[in-house]
Amino acid sequence: MSGNTYGKLFTVTTAGESHGPALVAIVDGCPPGLDISLADLQHDLDRRKPGTSRHTTQRQEPDEVEILSGVFEGRTTGCSIGLLIRNTDQKSKDYSAIKDLFRPAHADYTYHHKYGERDYRGGGRSSARETAMRVAAGAIAKKFLATQGIRVRGYMSQLGPIEIPFKTWDSVEDNAFFSPDPAKVPELEAYMDQLRRDQDSVGAKITVVAEGVMPGLGEPIFDRLDAELAHALMSINAVKGVEIGAGFASVAQRGTEHRDELTPQGFLSNNAGGILGGISSGQPIVAHLALKPTSSITTPGRSIDIDGNPVEVITKGRHDPCVGIRATPIAEAMMAIVLMDHLLRHRAQNGDVKVNTPVLGQL
Amino acid sequence: MSGNTYGKLFTVTTAGESHGPALVAIVDGCPPGLDISLADLQHDLDRRKPGTSRHTTQRQEPDEVEILSGVFEGRTTGCSIGLLIRNTDQKSKDYSAIKDLFRPAHADYTYHHKYGERDYRGGGRSSARETAMRVAAGAIAKKFLATQGIRVRGYMSQLGPIEIPFKTWDSVEDNAFFSPDPAKVPELEAYMDQLRRDQDSVGAKITVVAEGVMPGLGEPIFDRLDAELAHALMSINAVKGVEIGAGFASVAQRGTEHRDELTPQGFLSNNAGGILGGISSGQPIVAHLALKPTSSITTPGRSIDIDGNPVEVITKGRHDPCVGIRATPIAEAMMAIVLMDHLLRHRAQNGDVKVNTPVLGQL
Amino acid sequence: MSGNTYGKLFTVTTAGESHGPALVAIVDGCPPGLDISLADLQHDLDRRKPGTSRHTTQRQEPDEVEILSGVFEGRTTGCSIGLLIRNTDQKSKDYSAIKDLFRPAHADYTYHHKYGERDYRGGGRSSARETAMRVAAGAIAKKFLATQGIRVRGYMSQLGPIEIPFKTWDSVEDNAFFSPDPAKVPELEAYMDQLRRDQDSVGAKITVVAEGVMPGLGEPIFDRLDAELAHALMSINAVKGVEIGAGFASVAQRGTEHRDELTPQGFLSNNAGGILGGISSGQPIVAHLALKPTSSITTPGRSIDIDGNPVEVITKGRHDPCVGIRATPIAEAMMAIVLMDHLLRHRAQNGDVKVNTPVLGQL
Amino acid sequence: MSGNTYGKLFTVTTAGESHGPALVAIVDGCPPGLDISLADLQHDLDRRKPGTSRHTTQRQEPDEVEILSGVFEGRTTGCSIGLLIRNTDQKSKDYSAIKDLFRPAHADYTYHHKYGERDYRGGGRSSARETAMRVAAGAIAKKFLATQGIRVRGYMSQLGPIEIPFKTWDSVEDNAFFSPDPAKVPELEAYMDQLRRDQDSVGAKITVVAEGVMPGLGEPIFDRLDAELAHALMSINAVKGVEIGAGFASVAQRGTEHRDELTPQGFLSNNAGGILGGISSGQPIVAHLALKPTSSITTPGRSIDIDGNPVEVITKGRHDPCVGIRATPIAEAMMAIVLMDHLLRHRAQNGDVKVNTPVLGQL
């Protein structure tokens, strides 16, 4: 199957390069009768789009989406939904100097070897620009999930060396970092300002949480919900690690510590991150992802050109010093797409299942 | 698509419960003409099978595989390969006491809510017993990859709190832990002996490495090689986290530190773990996975029964105190399956691509 | 995806050669809680199996199926169902003479060119023997469809030049031909007896009908219900044509004649074969399939060997003079599998849809 | 998987309604380095587009396609190709009268029951307008296949009661019917003129042929080449039957007549239509498809409205009296897409296979 398609029943297929005419997506499998407006999609696109603070790239893209099909009189029809975003701020000349060489830690070298051909302008297809379409598709998934009582939200949990403790969802949308701790924001700003002066970049950690997920989502044994989340989140540009629940902390845990005991009042902990045996338990789904530092920095680095000669590379252009800052809406979108796909898969097979056992929440 | 199938071109479909008559797999898409013998499959099955040291479950399963089809006169025919392993050591009475309650941190609760029905004997389909078939299928993938110069190997990099530095591949097969440091083995044994006395379990970290992988494997944007590895590795029982290369350490890294510079003599580092933009770079592919502590412990835990009443659960039976100990061959198998699938996908689309740029190794 | 897998949600994956140790199938996606017994599967296997009349091959295969997994205490668990049929009547020596040449109209020549390797014994994977597993899987689908009020049945509508008008379902199971007209049976028997004396074979036409199918099944635009039925039915050995409803007769029809008018009492005709715009209408689904004459005949034919030299071929062994005679249960199985898959796909996306418009039957 | 996606490796995903803003497609999996120009796509779009003779709908759509991605400097990059066609001639008022009733033999009734919602304007998604995107995608496939020596062409073989014998490919593009017999054109024109006066419509039969196909394409057992062709061709609007080679004529054939004997000089006949055991033989691939008469006719017909009340329907608007007339490029496109997908699938698994047996052509 196509590497540019995600999902089995709720599928998202995308196309488009950073500096081509447009990004396009086809979202298929959405149940009919869902209220969808441009504003629904635009809200998350605006949260992701560049240039909204001094801490992200100054490239200006309005990222205005057009719905081409699949929505009639404000409701989905059940037919495939076409989405289009025109690229408007294409400064191709910024990139012409790097046509014949490979920027370190970029996809230049691997695309070249894989395809022989590549659109070198701004990274072409390997640019994080494609994630705009994930966000648009994810907004449709979020809208549907909301009708089922499910809410997907994310926040930044670490910026470079600065850990950000979760304090409150209320703070997340009020700062440029999606920080859940308003008190941390000045420190984050100072860090980023220094980073720009250093002409360097840094990594980040994002946490995504889904609340209200019913028990039963996930398809053993290979399409476990955690496996699919790992797939979807790792497919985001710059992600190098994914954890579910306690994640790598589980390594040093003992069984008596890790296991989330059940009581009639609810689960007593959530080391599992809401997933047991690959199936949602009814607890909040919790995933963490590690994003590497942006490769596009103006500090010179060693590389080679397409003939194998050594070169020194300085990546100019307008880049994010921390791609993690704009990653929260993207991670939410991917989690929402996975959950929606699995909700449909689950009800296909198990729509008739009824059990008397109460559904536990988390204490 | 089926949750019990992995892969797009090289596909592995499995069935079978812990205490049912047999495990079965159908492996499809293997190129014809590959030499395959029972011994090839049995070698890795024996590495995974229980009861080979005092540190794993004492359940005895010979795990003898039968090839039902797809191999003729010692070579694959290109047709689907059927594999069968009979279950022989089924002590179902060990499990009947837990029929109507949910063991904490097990899949009991989620299978019950998802399907209404479940084979409660030994975890049924949610038991790690199914991974025997992954190992058998992975052995076929390894055999093919070897013909392409690719070698997949793994080792234990942490047991509970004990970090195990990589010293030498030569040690890995010589101890019960797949430890790459022979000097660490006595410490690991002492730790496990104490753990059994504590009636507890513990987590582990496994590292898997593929060497000899050509540049070009991986299908952007959703089926990136790292995304598929994350999917495949997270689908293994008990896995709670997956890292590629520097993984979560990338969060605190700066761009100047993380980026792997290129020289005509090779890459200068491998923070990327051999994958750039979702495509293999020719460097070793490196993945780490976190396994949680076994849930099946004899220390009592709180839970509920199927009517929602509180109960105290003690999981008797014969269980691994650290599932990570037998996980190395499974992780290798899943990485091999992913690489083989992507090798076929890559040559389908790009079999004719030729570039003059030299392929870099790692310095 | 695997060529040996059919279906998207209800998937059937098979393996096994004519003269190998066994046939095997993995059926995935079946809803849990379905009563399934060996007798359910055996009933249709017995309808397909050879050697039950003098008009089919005298090869004796008991075709006894074993359920390896996915069924617990008589009910499906929702996990993948493993099925096994051992081959018992393998007279491989019958085939050794044709190892290095290509029987005309067989798959020998194409398998040889595709794979280089082939199991030449009895056609290996290309033998119609594999259809036993389709029938076993189809029996599960039929059992589920019955719980939804859907019944799939087939009959022979033409044997060579002899057209068989539909008279009554009651006759179909009472003769070796699945003839719906008991009065035609003597003519069919005489024709077959002469055919054997002629050392020749002949084609047949089979009709399959599904009654009780609710409106709504089928996924535009590519996975229309008729397109999937065409795929599934054309995938049966020897099938050279598929029609839905009026089929090729539509070519000469006028719109005023072809269109099935609707009245509050029901549709006035069924030229559509129960499918409009690729979606079931609630009328009976009607498909016809053309099967070519068996290629395995003892009348000599011209061919070449693997070096390209001319040879004369006589196919000995025990073959069906008309493969269509045993094709009815296979065609039913494939239609049942398609309908079940689409029923699950439909309820995944549209499980909540409610309309007030009455569902029309057929007058 | 999405019902709006076709293919496994070369995938075509489409969206768009008859009277919405645009049609859109994403074509994925195309090998890189293929020369593609707008003219390549436009050529076949122009062959399909309406309004080029008095025998088709007078709706005027320029069907100008825009390439949004995946092509850089005139060559494919291996990344997903976005295609866009704006709808320009949307006379929605023509359709408002039929909003609440079901046109006989249309998809109105089934879409209504399936989705609850529908875009009733011009048939919405069920309109044959979507086939424009199949033609655009097929043009890419044709371009690639041409580089492999494969040519896909079609013609009309029957119009209503008038059979059209194959005379010459030279004639096909010189008349409005794709008739391979120039002498038949006046008869076809006269028939169509009378049909319009009768306010009626009629069916047609199209034949598609692929020459130069290497042996080996097709994936047993379910994804046989003939099964996939049946799927793809039956998915075209109005198709009610598909034949491969001798098709339904096989029913009355004897084995001695049907089998295509092989000689060192080539196959002696082609009843198989170029496919044996589901795999291409190297002979021309030949498929026939039956298209039903257009449902949109101005002769009144009986139907019901959405409340179940009886109504009389006259379908006004601008419609094709024989949809078969414009179907030839669509059928070619679908065959080309199938062949390309299977060529990639074949070389993925069997790219290394070499045999010494000569490839036979057809005598």
Mean pLDDT by 10 residues, chain A (363 residues): 92 96 98 96 90 78 93 97 90 71 93 93 90 97 98 98 97 95 97 93 97 97 98 98 98 96 96 98 98 88 95 80 93 98 97 93 80
pLDDT in tens, B208-254: 999 999 999 999 999 999 999 999 999 999 999 999 999 999 999 99
pLDDT value at position A61?
78
DSSP D161-227: TEE-----HHHHTTSTT--S-GGGHHHHHHHHHHHHHTT--B-EEEEEEEESPPTT--BTTTB-HHH
Is A296 marked as binding a ligand? yes
**Residue D29 labeled ligand binder:** no
The rounded distance, in Å, linking the Cα atoms of D233 and D213 is 18
Mean pLDDT of chain C: 94
How much is the pLDDT for A363?
A: 77
Q: Which amino acid is present at D33?
A: G
Q: Which of C220, C344, C350 is closest, CB to CB, to A349?
A: C344
Residue-wise pLDDT for C337-350, tens only, equals 999 999 999 999 99
Give the Cα separation of D267 and D39 in Å (integer): 38
pLDDT at D51: 74
Beta bridge pairs of residue D28: D11
Number of Cβ within 10 Å of residue C246's Cβ equals 25
Residues contacting residue D319 through CB under 8 Å, at least 6 positions apart: D57, D201, D294, D296, D297
pLDDT of residue A175: 95
Which pLDDT score, from 0 to 100, does residue B93 have? 63
- At residue B118, the pLDDT reads 86
**Cis ω for the linkage preceding B221 (within 30 of 0):** yes
Please choose, from the candidates B202, B208, B207, B209, the residue with its C-alpha nearest in 3D space to the C-alpha of residue B159: B202
Taking 3-state DSSP, the helix, strand and coil percentages for chain C, each rounded to the nearest 5, stand at: 35, 25, 45
Chain C partners of B11 at a C-beta cutoff of 8 Å? Answer: 1-2, 5
| A201 is known to lie in a ligand binding site | no
A347-361, B301-315, B340-354, C312-326: least confidently modelled range: C312-326
Residues of chain B in contact with residue A280, where contact means CB-CB under 8 angstroms, are 110
CA dihedral A249, A253, A256, A258 (to 10 degrees): 10
Q: Inter-chain contact A9–C347, Cβ cutoff 8 Å?
A: no
Could you tell me the pLDDT band of residue D165, with boundaries at 50, 70 and 90?
very high
The rounded distance, in Å, linking the Cα atoms of C75 and A182 is 55
* Cβ <8 Å between A114 and B216: yes
Q: What does the alpha-carbon distance between residue C26 and residue B3 come to, in Å, rounded to a whole number?
A: 12
Q: pLDDT tens for residues A163-179?
A: 999 999 999 999 999 99
**Residues C346, D114: C-beta atoms closer than 8 Å:** yes
Is this complex scored with an ipTM above 0.95?
yes
At C349, the amino acid letter reads Q
Which of D9, D78, D349 minimises the CB distance to B31? D349
Phi and psi of A13, rounded to 5°? -120, 130
Phi and psi dihedrals of D37, rounded to 5?
-125, 165
**pTM for the whole structure:** 0.97
B149-163, B318-332, D132-146, D150-164 — which is least confidently predicted? B318-332
Does D220 have pLDDT greater than 90? yes
Q: Is the peptide bond before C221 cis (omega within 30 degrees of 0)?
A: yes
pLDDT at position D314 is 84
The pLDDT of D126-133, averaged and rounded, is 94
User: Model confidence over C175-220: pLDDT tens digits?
Assistant: 999 999 999 999 999 999 999 999 999 999 999 999 999 999 999 9
Identify the residue among C349, C350, C355 best suited for mutation to test binding to A, counting A beta carbons within 10 A and taking the highest.
Answer: C349
Q: How far is CA A336 from the centre of its chain?
A: 10
**What pLDDT score was predicted for residue A317?**
66
Q: Is there a contact between B32 and D347 if contact means CB atoms under 8 Å apart?
A: no
Which residues of B are less than 8 Å from D353 in CB distance?
31-33
* B122 Cα distance to chain centroid: 20
Q: Give pLDDT tens digits for B246-284.
A: 999 999 999 999 999 999 999 999 999 999 999 999 999
What pLDDT, on a 0 to 100 scale, did the predictor assign at position B295? 83
Other C-beta atoms lying within 10 Å of the C-beta of residue C89? 13
| Distance, CA of A276 to CA of C352 (rounded, Å) | 28
Subunits that touch chain A (at least 3 Cβ pairs < 8 angstroms)?
A: B, C, D
Q: Which of D4, D75, D125 sits opposite A117 (nearest CB)?
A: D75
A47 has binding-site annotation: no
Q: Considering chain D, what is the average pLDDT of its residues?
A: 94
Which residues touch D113 (CB under 8 Å, ≥6 apart)? C215, C216, C279, C282, C355, C357, C359
- Interface B–D counts its CB contacts (< 8 A) at 54
Q: What does the pLDDT average to over B26-36?
A: 98
D190 class by beta-carbon count within 10 Å (0-12 exposed, 13-18 middle, 19+ buried) = exposed
Work out the mean pLDDT of chain B and round it to a whole number: 93
Q: Smallest Cβ distance to D348: which of B1, B9, B32?
A: B9
pLDDT of residue D285 exceeding 80: yes
The answer to whether A16 contacts D82, with C-beta atoms less than 8 Å apart, is: yes
Distances (CA, A) of C60 to A163, C66, C294, C323: 72, 18, 18, 16
Highest mean pLDDT among B48-62, B121-135, C65-79, C82-96: C65-79
How far apart (Å, rounded) are the C-alpha atoms in residues A334 and A134?
A: 7
pLDDT on residue A92: 54
| pLDDT tens readout for residues C226-241 | 999 999 999 999 999 9
- Cα gap D249→D253, rounded to integer Å: 7
Residue C55 — very low, low, confident or very high, per pLDDT cuts 50/70/90? confident
Higher-pLDDT residue of D90, D266? D266
- SS3 label, residue B215: coil
Q: Measured between alpha carbons, how far is D322 from C254 in angstroms, rounded to an integer?
A: 10
Three-class SS state of A318:
coil
**If interface means Cβ-Cβ distance under 8 Å, which residues of chain D face chain B?**
1, 8-9, 29-33, 78-79, 220, 344-345, 347-353
Q: Are strands B266-267 and B5-6 parallel, antiparallel or unpaired?
A: unpaired
Q: pLDDT exceeding 70 applies to what percent of chain A?
A: 98
- As given in the structure block, the two tokens for residue C231 are 């795929």
Q: What is the pLDDT of residues D229-276, one digit of tens each?
A: 999 999 999 999 999 999 999 999 999 999 999 999 999 999 999 999
Check the CA dihedral A183-A186-A191-A192 and report its sign: positive
SS3 content of chain A, % helix, strand, coil (to 5): 35, 25, 45
CB < 8 Å & 24+ apart, contacts of D345-348: D345/B9, D345/B348, D345/C3, D345/D8, D345/D9, D345/D217, D345/D219, D345/D223, D346/C114, D346/D216, D346/D217, D346/D218, D346/D219, D347/B347, D347/B348, D347/B351, D348/B9, D348/B29, D348/B344, D348/B345, D348/B347, D348/B348, D348/D9
Which range is least confidently modeled, B75-79, D320-324, D328-332? D320-324
For the record, the structure tokens of B216 come out as 């070009």
- Residues of C with Cβ-Cβ distance to B17 under 8 angstroms: 69-70, 72, 79
**How would you classify the pairing of strands D75-76 and A22-28?**
unpaired
Q: How many angstroms separate the CA of residue B1 from the nearest CA in chain D? A: 7
Cα C218 to Cα C210: distance, rounded to the nearest angstrom: 14
Is the pLDDT at C92 greater than 60, yes or no?
no
pLDDT for the residue D75: 97
